[in-house]
């Protein structure tokens, strides 16, 4: 036991004889270990953000959206184009026994103004359940009610961004805004809601900032199915009865069979593919798979960095063996065995790996703090470039993966031993007489 302690003591003492060289060797392992922790933490943060946005859609929800058919996209649309979900589709789809509820939505872009303030709003015609399904929280007043829908009331609820632009200092409740000259009384204001990133090709990104919510029946009465879009010297229009239906089922086990049933029913009712079925549960599984692939990819990059650190250790130890050739000869002449020389140089390698691994872990644990500081700094320095990034990247918060710490430390020690074996064996195999003659 005492002999083993003396080996480790001598290893530390020998490394302190060349502090700068030892520190640079440790730096290579530090970067490798810190990279493992950092990259896995960042990938975990991105994955959590993506899964959070998918879970907000509801794991037991199935989304049916109207979409412009591919054949229509490839032609020059000059005026009206009719596509999407129809009202009579709802009655047919509700015959599917596993569906317990259907949330109907009609949405479009509209100019809205109050006094001299005008914004390009996202007009959403919905029913009272919309706030619950989309995780919207009320700031003041009330959301669309059943009475508003039944009476086709000319009322609206403003998203936080729209309310802030229209009424920076006033109380919005009771005020009348106009959407394309049609008046609506403000009955509620919602709390700020983070945007949702686009998922796949059928579910577009959704920003709730400038939303204006009105009763669905009011939309059908005052605006109708046809919406005209006018630009510089051009005009076009679309005829869509429903933009989206969110179906709810009782359990996750019913999600995929119900989605398949919806696909079959819609294919019978429509002669062209002007709809898309999105299953958040399936997207969630895809996100988890992507997370694992991303983490493996990040881990491989970090492993390469650790390999480079190991090569640095081998390089330094080979140089050390050359410098200490005479010392090795003296030890062999005094009775040291080859195994003693091997253990001595391996001990020095392991000390370098342990110090590099420990400091690398400390550096890796700073990832969340450093990333948040860096994000705030970049937002102040280059706000335009940062705002153009996807929301899932802007909002990412690195999450330290608990198992990455022992993994990175263990790999650093193993890498140190593997890359230290050859220099140690080379030192042990030296001929004592030739070593003593070395100058």
What SS3 string covers 345-383? Answer: HHHHHHHHHHHHHHHHHHHHHCHHHHHHHHHHHHHHHCH
**Bigger pLDDT: 164 vs 301:** 164
Is there a single domain that holds both residue 325 and residue 360?
Answer: yes
Residue 397 is assigned to a structural domain of this protein: yes
Structure tokens at 417: 């031993």
Residue 57 is classified by DSSP as: T
In this prediction, residue 200 has a pLDDT band, given cuts at 50, 70 and 90, of very low
Q: Is residue 63 part of a domain?
A: no
Domain count, the chain: 2
249 Cβ neighbours under 8 A, 6+ residues apart: 60, 61, 62, 98, 99, 100, 255, 258
- Domain shared by 265 and 138, yes or no: yes
Q: Which of 273, 306, 324 is the last residue of a domain?
A: 273
Whether 415 and 309 have beta carbons less than 8 Å apart is answered as yes
Predicted local distance difference test score (pLDDT) of residue 134: 80
7/83 same-domain check: no
What is the spatial distance between Cα 254 and Cα 63, in angstroms, rounded to a whole number?
Answer: 14
Instruction: Please check whether residues 150 and 248 belong to one and the same domain.
Output: yes
Comparing 19-23, 93-97, 118-122, the range with the smallest average pLDDT is: 19-23
Residue, of 190 and 312, whose pLDDT is higher = 190
- The answer to whether residues 294 and 418 belong to one domain is yes
Residues near 419 by Cβ (< 8 Å), separated by ≥ 6? 310, 311, 313, 314, 317, 349
Residue 280 counted as domain residue = no
Are residue 303 and residue 256 in the same domain, yes or no?
no
pLDDT at 157 over 90: yes
Task: Dump pLDDT digits (tens) for 403-434.
Answer: 778 877 887 788 777 777 777 777 767 766 66
Exposed / middle / buried, residue 202 (Cβ in 10 Å: 0-12, 13-18, 19+)? middle
Q: Which domain holds residue 164?
A: 68-273
pLDDT band at residue 160, thresholds of 50, 70 and 90? very high
pLDDT of 223 higher than 50:
yes
Query: Last residue of some domain: 273, 306, 336?
Result: 273
What is the Cα–Cα distance from 431 to 439, expressed in whole angstroms? 14
Does residue 61 belong to any structural domain of this protein? no
* pLDDT computed for residue 202 by the predictor: 42
Q: Within this chain, do residues 77 and 126 fall inside the same structural domain, yes or no? A: yes
User: If you average pLDDT over every residue of the chain, what do you get?
Assistant: 79
Which of the listed residues 273, 307, 324 is the one where a domain comes to its end?
Answer: 273
205 domain-assigned = yes
Asked if residue 358 is part of any domain, the answer here is: yes
Residues 93 and 151 in one domain: yes
Alpha-carbon dihedral sign for residues 250, 106, 119, 394: positive
Listed range (16-20, 276-280, 310-314) with the worst mean pLDDT: 16-20
364 CB neighbour count, 10 Å cutoff = 25
CA distance 396 to 42: 8
| CB-facing half-sphere around the CA of 172: CA atoms within 13 A | 28
Return the half-sphere exposure (C-beta side, CA atoms, 13 A cut-off) of residue 247: 33
Distance CA 159, CA 311 (A): 57
**Residue 118 shares a structural domain with residue 224:** yes
Which backbone phi and psi does 127 adopt, to 5 degrees?
A: -115, 170
Beta bridge partners of 156: 186
Q: Which residue has the higher pLDDT, 248 or 19?
A: 248
More confident residue, 407 or 70: 407
Same domain, 72 and 50: no
In sequence order, the β-bridge partners of residue 212 are 123, 158
pLDDT above 80 (res 313): no
Which percentage of the chain shows pLDDT scores above 90? 23
Is the domain of 84 the same as that of 226?
A: yes
Any domain includes 420:
yes
pTM greater than 0.75 (yes/no): no
Asked if 40 and 120 sit in the same domain, the reply is no
Q: Is the alpha carbon torsion for 34, 40, 43, 44 positive or negative? A: negative
Count CB neighbours of 166 within 10 A: 22
| Residue 99 covered by a domain | yes
pLDDT tens-place string over residues 368-386: 888 888 878 887 888 777 7
């Amino acid at each position: 036991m005492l002999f083993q302690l003396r080996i480790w003591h001598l290893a530390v003492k020998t490394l302190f004889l060349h502090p700068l060289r030892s520190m640079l060797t440790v730096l290579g392992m530090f970067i490798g270990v810190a990279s493992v922790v950092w990259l896995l933490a960042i990938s975990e943060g991105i994955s959590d953000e993506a899964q959070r946005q998918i879970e907000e859609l509801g794991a037991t929800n199935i989304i049916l959206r109207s979409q412009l058919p591919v054949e229509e996209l490839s032609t020059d649309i000059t005026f009206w184009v009719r596509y999407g979900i129809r009202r009579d589709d709802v009655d047919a789809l509700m015959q599917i026994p596993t569906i317990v509820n259907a949330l109907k939505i009609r949405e479009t872009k509209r100019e809205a103004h109050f006094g001299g303030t005008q914004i390009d709003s996202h007009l959403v015609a919905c029913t009272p359940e919309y706030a619950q399904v989309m995780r919207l929280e009320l700031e003041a007043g009330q959301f669309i009610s059943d009475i508003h829908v039944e009476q086709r009331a000319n009322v609206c609820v403003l998203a936080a961004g729209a309310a802030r632009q229209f009424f920076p200092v006033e109380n919005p409740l009771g005020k009348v805004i106009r959407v394309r000259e049609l008046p609506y009384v403000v009955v509620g204001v919602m709390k700020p809601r983070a945007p949702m990133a686009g998922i796949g090709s059928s579910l577009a990104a959704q920003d709730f900032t400038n939303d204006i919510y009105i009763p669905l029946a009011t939309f059908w009465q005052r605006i109708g199915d046809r919406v005209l879009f006018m630009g510089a010297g051009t005009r076009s229009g679309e005829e869509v009865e429903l933009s989206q239906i969110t179906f709810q089922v009782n359990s996750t086990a019913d999600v995929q069979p119900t989605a398949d049933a919806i696909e079959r029913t819609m294919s019978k009712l429509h002669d062209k593919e002007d709809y898309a079925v999105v299953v958040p549960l399936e997207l969630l599984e895809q996100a988890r798979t992507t997370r694992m692939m991303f983490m493996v990819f990040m881990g491989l990059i970090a492993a390469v960095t650790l390999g480079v650190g190991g090569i640095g250790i081998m390089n330094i130890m080979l140089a050390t063996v050359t410098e200490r050739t005479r010392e090795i000869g003296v030890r062999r002449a005094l009775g040291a065995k080859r195994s003693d020389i091997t253990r001595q140089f391996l001990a020095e390698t392991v000390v370098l790996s342990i110090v590099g691994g420990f400091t690398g872990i400390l550096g890796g644990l700073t990832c969340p703090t450093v990333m948040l500081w860096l994000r705030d700094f970049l937002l102040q320095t280059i706000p335009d470039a940062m705002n153009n990034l996807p929301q899932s990247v802007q909002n990412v918060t690195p999450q330290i993966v608990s198992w990455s710490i022992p993994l990175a430390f263990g790999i650093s020690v193993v890498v140190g031993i593997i890359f230290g074996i050859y220099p140690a064996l080379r030192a042990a195999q030296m001929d004592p007489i030739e070593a003593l003659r070395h100058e």
